[in-house]
Structure 1
Amino acid sequence: MKNIFLGIMTLIFTLNLQAQAIQYQISFDNAIHHEAEIKASFTNLDAGVFSVRMGRSSPGRYAIHEFAKNVYNLKATDGNGKLLNIHRPNPYQWNITDHNGEVNVSYTLYADRGDGTYAQVDETHAHLNIPATFIYSPQLTEREIVVDVDVRKDLNWKVATQLEKLSDTKFRAPDFQYFMDSPIEISDFSLRQFEVEQNGKTQTVEFVLHHNGTEAELDTYFEQVKNIVLAQKDVFGELPNFDFGKYTFLACYIPNASGDGMEHRNSTILTDREGLAEGGMRNNIGTVSHEFFHAWNVERIRPQSLEPFNYAEANMSGELWFAEGFTSYYTNLILCRAGIITPEEYIEGLTGTFNYVWNSPGRQFFNPIEMSYQAPFVDAATSVDPVNRENTFISYYSYGSMLGLALDLSLRENKLNLDDYFKLVWETFGKSETPYTIDDLHQTLVKYAGKEFGDHFFNYYIYKSEMPNYGNLFQTVGVTLKQATEQPYFGASVAINQFGAGIIQRNTQIGTPAYQAGLERGDVIMTVNNTPLSSNQSFNDFISQFEVGDTLKVAYNRYGVPKTTTVVLTGNPAYGIQLVEKEGDKPRKKVLKNRRDWLKVE
């Protein structure tokens, strides 16, 4: 009798939850004009004002995005079909009154950007980032959610998402946070998948691709995806336990998409204009590597500062140098380990990021934590006023990537490595999904590598912005680091137009010859040492005829007023990074072993 009673109570509880579930319906009859029609049903409501709103931020993005700007024709009715009063207290919220415990909202959404932040609807697909698509009620965030998709059968559309599948067109989220983190791709896509056996369970990894290419191209690309998944699994020792036993790559490589990648708990968005046969086979695979690494680092190894994610405000975190930056370090390292790029390509590919980070004056203003705080201003954020980021900002992706490199090579000098540090962070915080702080990362490094090592790394390179000794670190793996100091350096990005005028494109950086000479963005250089510039020659080629230490007389216009200044050329501060073999040296066996252990290649 007790079991029967418990069964009845469970059934009643389940039916009650289903009755309270938020129901969405979405259709695309006017997809040709980028419109979706959306209906939302909210039941069992308390009396009084009922509020719905559009999000202002999105998972993995930290800036404000006013998604409400694309919502119109919004109406609300009660359970009897009565039209309800709506008041707008702010640009992104609708307050609804006089309901009878049920509110049904309908609206039109305009959507025409296919990437990881926005939504795009047209006759090729419906690409839906949830915060950019669906209104929500801040009063009902604990309720489960059901989405019913009216697919365009005439376009052979299918639905792919990390949401729990109830049918081919109906899907469920257990609550608001999971729903907002679950993008949906609706198109005539192709699908590949493979299974990984782990701890007695089967984990399925599937790759959904909406593209205009061939099935053979997808087969080739998917082999690379599998190699990436398995190489990253080796870093952590296991895959995460994906909800519903599945991880889904949602890729759109089509001309009307915008290049992007965006991680989610059990899926990721991958978008680009390049098809696989048009350069995407090579150019897009790095995003696959970066975003899948996030399945551990940021989705489950989660900064406390991002919990819970706030969809009504910008989200600030001081840990992005680790969450995004260390993920960026592994992005190309994994491509090398998976055999997709060669060790030489990987090593030489470090050069651009290295020079960007370590030749930037931004380090004198902000450490990696403070650079991370800048995310709401730079992460797909928009502004119309000029900023001075050339002098004050270093991307936390790039900064953290170079710090990850330094930490890995430093640990390897002590017969340790970054992979095993990540395993410890995973075991301590990720598997239990316990949000971490910067101090947690610090103390975990102390636990792994010792107090002296852990304190030194954080005290000098995280809490401060000093530069590790990369020359020595690179030597341990047979890599050279040299500056091209014999090359003359002007220190400004100059584009010569068809009339032979050299226009300075960006703010000049502090300490460069151009900055010291008082030149600035927008200045128009007319002559150098009384010699006019030529549209047939790049400015850098023009400068290369001079020597380090030469003094140049520069005639330029600023706001239409002729001016002159003198620029003293210095040596180029840029570093070159390459294997020692390219300089004719033969690395010692121990050094080659260190390199093989690092890159995991023979």
Structure 2
Amino acid sequence: MRILILFLLATSVCFAQKNTYRISFENAEHHEANVKISFPDLEQDNLTVRMSRTSPGRYALHEFAKNVYEVKATNSKGEQLEILRPDPYSWIITGHDGLVNLEYILFGNRADGTYTQIDQTHAHLNIPATFMYSESLKQRPVEVIFDTQQFPDWKIATQLKQIDSNTYYAPDLYYFMDSPTEISNFDSREFEINGQVIKFTLHHPGTPQEFNEYWEKTKEIVRQQKAIFGELPEFDFKKYTFLACYMPQVSGDGMEHRNSTVLTSTSSLAEGGMDSNIGTVAHEFFHAWNVERIRPQSLEPFDFTEANMSGLLWFAEGFTSYYTGLTLTRAGIITPEAYAKGLNGTFNYVWNSPARAYFNPVEMSYQAPFVDAAASIDPVNRENTFISYYSYGSMLGLALDLQLRQKGQNLDAFMQLVWEKYGEPEIPYELEDLQNLLAAYAGSDFAEDYFGKYIYNSEMPNYEQLLAEVGLLLKRDSKNAFFGASVQKDDEGFYINSNPKKNAPAYKAGLDIGDRILSVNGTTPKADSSREDEFGQYKPGEQLKLEIERFGKKMLKNVILEADPTFEISIDKDASPEAVKARKAWLSAK
């Protein structure tokens, strides 16, 4: 979210016309918080307050009002005020005398980048999921008091400006809503780089030694990403804070904000999180440039009342995903061999998806409100119609980087240009702006070819040739058979648990999700065998006679297996010296 901050002196903050929030946790054991808000100096006859329907960094609707109850409002004399409900998200308070004191109970029991969780170990607060607000007062400063009397060992971590021990400040509503807060007995580390503080707060069950090792990795990520753009963003209040919570009751997630990021995982550092969680650190910190300041015009201003749609998520999220693995490699956290291996899943997912026949990367980005943690109860056909803009954009970022390197250029330099043109001055960009800037950097023909083929259309670059230029090998093992649908095992045997991919063998045979496989070529599948054991024994071109059960009826289906379309990317041990040199230039620390 692009916000212009007024750095007010603490003395002026005290006298500013502001809305004051207080939250306390007397009933944390049952996941409840008590919230009180004071709206003074009101000029309108009626005050409308509401809960957000979405949250910065999310594109779908989440309807936070569902967890708010026992709403009360009084005037300056303590007299009860009438409250009307015009819709599920809003409350209209009438008859006030210029002051409204509002209070309610909030239930929260999901800790991630979107929701709020309150329990006896912490208060993990996403602000839009926690606090009501008034749109008519959005320009006012906000003061918030986190009352931790019930838990004296709890500390407060947030990007909000600290006024005193438990009181914090935001210059306006947008900054407040963009400021997640972790309150717990966390551990912390920090270091200074170029006059700014990078702080990492960690709520976890691990040891200081584990945190020290993780912190060293984080510091190197910060350095390597700074090298990509040439500088750090100028963080408000000169500080950036990682808000990490690696606890068994949370839900895995990462969510970027202007001067902070939320990191949640059930994996402790001692139980796999040292390796599995660090990629989220790299991804979310890259967002401090790309998304938070290099900001799509389509997300400006962020709308808390409706779903937010952008056709640029292939760049905002996808290019960030490309730099995630690249950063880990340059930081020495993973090896080049591990990086190459890590490309496989994403590459095959994008390359072999039927969805490219329906939507280009821009149109895939438009689907975010339906897939970004969105809820639906009706079945969808995403196996055939959707490619994650994270994955799609990541592969397009890889292709662009390797194409530029063939010209003696690179994506790092282009990202620096994007930063200088749109990020540092915080000028929101349009799709055409990216193409024009690429044309200025690499030539109009190059930019027109890239955008024309891969952004406005759904063609795929020549990855075999591009990867070979940096000493990577792309090959396909056509000896393995391909069925074309995911098969799951339960106590009764096997069943198809995904929509068959369009034009795959299972699709051509007329198989469907939910079909239970009773026999293959007259033999009953063994319920204790894996899916690989059951179909891996066959060869491409073989015909399988499947007896299935659908809607309580048995029927026969003939499946002709095809060659597995899966590719493998690996380090080419026979690469030329020039290719090896190019690979080192690409993957080495900066």
Change (3 A) 1:44 1:601: closer
Name the CA distance, whole Å, in 1 between partners of 2:128 and 2:71: 17
The offset of 1:544, in angstroms, is 2.1
Q: Are 1:105 and 2:102 counterparts?
A: yes
Q: Are 1:529 and 2:521 counterparts?
A: yes
Name the CA distance, whole Å, in 1 between partners of 2:372 and 2:510: 30
Determine helix, strand or coil for the equivalent of 1:20.
coil
Q: What RMSD in Å do the two structures reach over aligned CA positions? A: 1.4
Question: What does residue range 328-367 of structure 1 map to in structure 2 within 5 Å?
Answer: 328-367=321-360
Q: Are 1:150 and 2:147 counterparts?
A: yes
Q: Are 1:453 and 2:446 counterparts?
A: yes
Partner of 1:595: 583
Aligned counterpart for 1:188 among listed residues 179, 185, 189: 185
| Residue pair 1:47, 1:99 contacting (<8 A) in 2 also | no
Partner of 1:390: 383
Structure 1 moving runs of 4+ over 6 Å: none
| Residue pair 1:19, 1:43 contacting (<8 A) in 2 also | no
How many pairs align? 582
Partner of 1:214: 207
| Residue pair 1:488, 1:571 contacting (<8 A) in 2 also | yes
1:206 partner amino acid: K
Name the CA distance, whole Å, in 2 between partners of 1:579 and 1:410: 19
| Residue pair 2:16, 2:141 contacting (<8 A) in 1 also | no
Partner of 2:425: 432
Aligned counterpart for 2:461 among listed residues 455, 464, 468: 468
Aligned counterpart for 1:240 among listed residues 205, 228, 233: 233
Partner of 1:59: 56
The CA deviation string for residues 549-602 of structure 1, in whole angstroms up to 9 with x for no partner, is 111111101011101111011000011110111xxx2x2211111001110159
Q: Are 1:555 and 2:552 counterparts?
A: no
Partner of 2:304: 311
Name the CA distance, whole Å, in 1 between partners of 2:222 and 2:468: 30
Partner of 2:531: 539
Question: What does residue range 455-534 of structure 1 map to in structure 2 within 5 Å?
Answer: 455-499=448-492, 501-534=493-526
| Residue pair 2:491, 2:527 contacting (<8 A) in 1 also | yes
Name the CA distance, whole Å, in 2 between partners of 1:406 and 1:432: 28
Change (3 A) 1:486 1:600: same
The offset of 1:539, in angstroms, is 2.5
The offset of 1:502, in angstroms, is 1.5
| Residue pair 2:25, 2:147 contacting (<8 A) in 1 also | yes
Name the CA distance, whole Å, in 2 between partners of 1:113 and 1:26: 18
Name the CA distance, whole Å, in 2 between partners of 1:292 and 1:547: 46
Partner of 1:165: 162
Name the CA distance, whole Å, in 2 between partners of 1:59 and 1:346: 30
1:535 partner amino acid: A
Aligned counterpart for 1:124 among listed residues 117, 121, 126: 121
Partner of 1:205: 198
The offset of 1:435, in angstroms, is 0.2
Determine helix, strand or coil for the equivalent of 1:593.
helix
Partner of 2:112: 115
Name the CA distance, whole Å, in 1 between partners of 2:529 and 2:584: 43
Name the CA distance, whole Å, in 2 between partners of 1:154 and 1:108: 18
Aligned counterpart for 2:26 among listed residues 26, 29, 33: 29
The offset of 1:498, in angstroms, is 3.0
1:463 partner amino acid: Y
Given the two structures, how large is their TM-score scaled by the length of structure 1? Answer: 0.95
Aligned counterpart for 1:282 among listed residues 275, 284, 287: 275
Determine helix, strand or coil for the equivalent of 2:392.
helix
| Residue pair 1:265, 1:299 contacting (<8 A) in 2 also | yes
Partner of 1:3: none
The CA deviation string for residues 194-235 of structure 1, in whole angstroms up to 9 with x for no partner, is 0012xxxx1100000011111111111000000000000000
The CA deviation string for residues 360-408 of structure 1, in whole angstroms up to 9 with x for no partner, is 0000000000000000000000011100001000000000000000000
Partner of 1:267: 260
Name the CA distance, whole Å, in 1 between partners of 2:542 and 2:152: 66
1:390 partner amino acid: E
Name the CA distance, whole Å, in 2 between partners of 1:425 and 1:311: 27
Name the CA distance, whole Å, in 2 between partners of 1:546 and 1:254: 44
| Residue pair 1:368, 1:463 contacting (<8 A) in 2 also | yes
Determine helix, strand or coil for the equivalent of 1:117.
coil
Name the CA distance, whole Å, in 2 between partners of 1:382 and 1:18: 44
Name the CA distance, whole Å, in 1 between partners of 2:589 and 2:538: 43
% of aligned pairs identical? 57
Name the CA distance, whole Å, in 2 between partners of 1:168 and 1:253: 25
Determine helix, strand or coil for the equivalent of 2:541.
coil
| Residue pair 1:496, 1:533 contacting (<8 A) in 2 also | no
The CA deviation string for residues 23-44 of structure 1, in whole angstroms up to 9 with x for no partner, is 0011001111101000000011
Change (3 A) 1:272 1:58: same
The offset of 1:47, in angstroms, is 3.3
Q: Are 1:39 and 2:31 counterparts?
A: no
Determine helix, strand or coil for the equivalent of 2:137.
coil
Aligned counterpart for 1:76 among listed residues 73, 77, 92: 73
Partner of 2:572: 580
| Residue pair 1:47, 1:100 contacting (<8 A) in 2 also | no
Deviates more, 1:485-494 or 1:287-296: 485-494
Determine helix, strand or coil for the equivalent of 2:20.
strand
The offset of 1:14, in angstroms, is 4.7
Determine helix, strand or coil for the equivalent of 1:492.
coil
Aligned counterpart for 2:400 among listed residues 407, 432, 439: 407
Q: Which runs of 5+ in 2 are unaligned?
A: 1-7
1:544 partner amino acid: G
Name the CA distance, whole Å, in 1 between partners of 2:487 and 2:384: 17
Determine helix, strand or coil for the equivalent of 2:106.
strand
| Residue pair 1:141, 1:175 contacting (<8 A) in 2 also | yes
The CA deviation string for residues 458-514 of structure 1, in whole angstroms up to 9 with x for no partner, is 010000010000000011011111112111111111123333x32001111101000
| Residue pair 2:224, 2:589 contacting (<8 A) in 1 also | no
2:100 partner amino acid: V
Name the CA distance, whole Å, in 2 between partners of 1:34 and 1:299: 31
Name the CA distance, whole Å, in 2 between partners of 1:349 and 1:188: 35
Given the two structures, how large is their TM-score scaled by the length of structure 2? Answer: 0.97
